[in-house]
Copies of this chain bind each other. A is one copy, B any other.
Amino acid sequence: MDNKNLEPLRHSAAHLFAAAIKNIFPEAKLAIGPAIEDGFYYDVDYGELKISENDFSKIEQKMHELVKKWGEFEKKEITADEAKKHFKDNPYKLELIEEFSKKGEKLTIYRSGEFEDLCRGGHIDNPKEALKHFKLLSVAGAYWRGSEKNKMLTRVYGTIFPTKSELENHLKVLEEAKKRDHRKLGRDLDLFVFSDLVGKGLPLLTPKGTTLKRVLERFIVDEELKREYLHVSTPPIAKVDLYRTSGHYPYYKETMYPPMIVDEEELILRPMTCPHHFALFKSRPRSYHEMPVRFAEISPQFRYEKSGELTGLIRVRTFLLSDAHIITPKEKAKEEIIKVLDLIAYVNHAFGLKKGTDYRYRLSLGDRSDSKKYYKDDKMWDYAENILREVLKNQDVPFYEAENEAAFYGPKIDVQMKNVNGKEDTAFTVQYDFVMPKRFELKFINKEGVDEEPVVVHRASLGAFERTMAFLIEHFGGAFPLWLAPVQVVILPISDKFQDFALKIKETLLKSGIRCEIDLDSKTLGAKIRHSTLQKVPYMVIIGEKEVEANKCAVRTREGKDLGQLSINELISKLKEKIENFS
């Protein structure tokens, strides 16, 4: 059963929740309670009361008790005046009533058992039988209507499924996701922190988090250089005019930082890199000889995100994008897009992600009838969409199409990635752009010696570093493969006596480019192993009497597997081989 069919069930469960709340806390003022993707929530003004997870079992019990008497939902149409009278003590419902009636909407009240709520309908037919397998999940603050100017209400999230096993499965997934939550693991594994002093949504990567970032950065830069990308370095601020030229400023103004007046110029933090790369392209004439020009950059970008929308490393106010713009003659665009998908497949392969299982392609199309949202040029849209479709048809996995998901300057291919919740997010995109070349008057001199307009392929190979790191932390549950692990080996001398030998091993590993640490604490070996296991260090090298005598290392994996004694050279070649194979 997909989520759409669950909506009436979840909506009905929200009613039941509200009924229980009014029964237990008669003073509570209900605000709104919709079905959402994974369940439902209800925002309530509890007045002076503090609701916490400790109250959940009591509320759930009451829900089970009340539902026994619930027959079918009864619909009643009422006038605005009647509604206002009915909800006279509830300022939230009164505000909604006012709004609906202004829009000329009909008002309806739905009743089941003794509980009535202002509601547009959409319930299940058999509450008594259906509203059984639910669970309240969490509590959070939420501003009335999402605005910080309004009162903070209390939101309780819950979920419900048609069967017990579906509910249990879902709770298991949630439990697993909680353990893998990158915010929790980020703290436990000391990868990143936030600081009230620095500001919201501005992560500070610790040494270990920075190592992960550096490994990713060098990996993608080196790979792109091999594939004849030209890495460039452009400033993170620019004149607002640059984004007026690109057309981003009116479109994306809401998500951009406010402009700063600096001397006689109006500067702004960049929300994307494309106009910078176009400016570089235009800095001298270009000949067909050097086309396509593939400008890539590990590019710091800035988005104005509301504080309520910030989430760990996933929604942040500044991030680093593995960005590129391929400026190509039109006839080579298809070939270039194929190459980009190949690069993305390579990156995903390095992360151990399988095409078709872990990710799939989506062809995101425009809407010919919406010339406000999409640049109007039907022929170009047809042409570009066909090219992308052809490319996808020749991939070895199925893809799907989505209407009204394109960029304003052209259609795109989205790489849809499954996260630990089993949900799909867009991880990377490949966009076909026939608008920016016109806006920036991009040209190259073709074989005939004539100016020709190129097209631009916008793409991200590794996405935003912060988001990708969050994804990888959750995907691996913090147990990174060797090549990504911030610390690859930890050396555990059994006692002080073996410290010198252990330090020599460390030196040798460091010189071979292996990231390693040594644990010189006076803890027992058992405690050291436990600690390193919790820190998810892939390999532990244990040094005791036998190892010093044999001039070898006793090697053990974080999974507890004993690899026996290895010479230092054997260990290094074993590790290097694994690193090269991204394992």
Binding site for B on A (CB under 8 A): 148, 190, 193, 195, 197-200, 202-207, 209-211, 213-214, 218, 221, 226, 230-239, 241-242, 245, 257-258, 260-265, 267, 269, 275-276, 279-280, 282-284, 295, 300, 302, 304, 306-307, 317-318, 510
Contact = CB atoms under 8 A, between A and B. Distances in A.
A451 B176 CA distance: 39
Contacts of A232: 204-207, 209-210
Given A234-B204, A300-B236, A258 B257 contact: no
Contact of A198 (B204, B230, B234, B263): B234
A148 B204 contact: no
A148 B148 CA distance: 42
A204 B280 contact: yes
Chain A interface, DSSP helix/strand/loop, else mixed: mixed
Contact of A193 (B203, B204, B283): B283
A197 B234 contact: no
Nearest to A289: B521
A439 to B, nearest CB: 11
A199 B257 contact: no
6 smallest beta-carbon distances between A and B, as pairs: A207-B230, A205-B233, A202-B235, A195-B279, A193-B283, A199-B239
Given A279-B195, A283-B195, A148 B237 contact: no
Contacts of A267: 199, 257, 317
Given A195-B280, A199-B267, 20 more contacts: A193-B283, A197-B238, A197-B239, A197-B242, A197-B282, A199-B235, A199-B237, A199-B238, A200-B263, A202-B235, A202-B237, A204-B232, A207-B231, A207-B232, A209-B233, A210-B230, A211-B231, A236-B300, A263-B306, A300-B300
A198 B318 contact: no
A484 to B, nearest CB: 16
9 contacts: A193-B284, A198-B234, A198-B235, A214-B231, A218-B218, A235-B317, A235-B318, A263-B304, A265-B307
Most B CB atoms within 10 A — which of A199, A237, A265? A199
A281 to B, nearest CB: 10
A234 B257 contact: no
Contacts of A221: 214
A236 B510 CA distance: 31
